[in-house]
């Protein structure tokens, strides 16, 4: 299995993986399938922003792909990225996701990033358990916050500290009412009912 930068020729298969995940799960919050042109445009935008799009290749087959990009575009979030990994249905559970996520984390560390966030449907236990193996913890839960092709969903955000000395985010949100965030300096910020207390 080779992990490499995706190239344009990969995008027919990448689009197939994307649309299979979109159609058969709540892992992608979109309400329409993508075209190859949509995915190529997304790839080009990522490259222009100096973010990776990696492909897992076995022979002539794309077994999965992953990327990360801005979590939020504001300058205060410049050390935090949001990552995504999607695997072809026939090779799930065979370590492809781990190879891709390890490569993304290494890339993010080399780029000077501190934290990688993943937005995961709260009922997608396979992805949540997968991320826990990388030291991620559930950071926040947003009820009825997103819509996918298959469902109106509740999403959980998981946080992976990319440097060992950073603290993990602790259990944060209880049924949409209270959010506690432990930042890398150990400070706690509490959001409750749209009011912010520090």
DSSP string of 33-102, one letter each residue: PPPHHHHHHHHHHHHHTT--EEEEEETTEEEEEEEEEES-SSGGGTTEEEEEEEE-GGGTTTTHHHHHHH
**DSSP-derived pairing of the beta strands 152-161 and 188-192:** unpaired
3-state secondary structure of 5: strand
Looking at the domain covering 2-197, what would its CATH class be? alpha beta
| pTM assigned to the model | 0.72
Nearest to 35 by CA among 19, 23, 54, 56: 19
Instruction: Encode the chain (198 residues) as per-residue pLDDT tens digits.
Output: 999 999 999 999 999 999 998 888 777 777 788 999 999 999 999 999 999 999 999 999 999 999 999 988 888 889 888 889 999 999 998 999 999 999 998 999 999 998 888 877 777 778 877 878 877 766 666 555 444 444 444 444 444 444 332 223 223 333 333 333 333 333 333 333 222 233
Tokens linked to 15 = 């689009």
| β-bridge partners, 70 | 81
Tokens linked to 183 = 């930042």
Locate the domains of the chain by residue range: 2-197
Neighbours of 20 (CB within 10 A): 17
């Amino acid at each position: 299995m080779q992990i490499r930068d995706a190239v344009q020729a990969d995008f027919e298969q990448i689009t197939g993986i994307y649309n299979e995940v979109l159609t058969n799960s709540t892992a992608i919050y979109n309400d329409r399938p993508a075209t190859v042109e949509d995915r190529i445009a997304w790839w080009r935008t990522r490259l222009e922003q100096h973010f990776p799009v990696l492909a897992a290749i076995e022979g002539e087959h794309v077994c999965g792909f992953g990327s990360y990009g801005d979590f939020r575009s504001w300058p205060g979030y410049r050390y935090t990225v949001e990552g995504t990994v999607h695997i072809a249905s026939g090779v799930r559970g065979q370590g492809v996701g781990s190879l891709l996520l390890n490569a993304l984390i290494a890339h993010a560390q080399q780029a000077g990033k501190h934290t990688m966030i993943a937005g995961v449907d709260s009922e997608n236990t396979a992805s949540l358990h997968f991320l826990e193996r990388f030291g991620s913890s559930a950071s926040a839960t947003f009820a009825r916050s997103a819509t996918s092709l298959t469902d109106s969903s509740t999403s959980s955000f998981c946080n992976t500290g990319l440097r060992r000395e950073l603290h993990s985010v602790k259990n944060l949100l209880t049924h949409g009412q209270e959010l506690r965030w432990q930042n890398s300096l150990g400070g706690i910020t509490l959001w409750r009912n749209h009011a912010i207390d520090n």
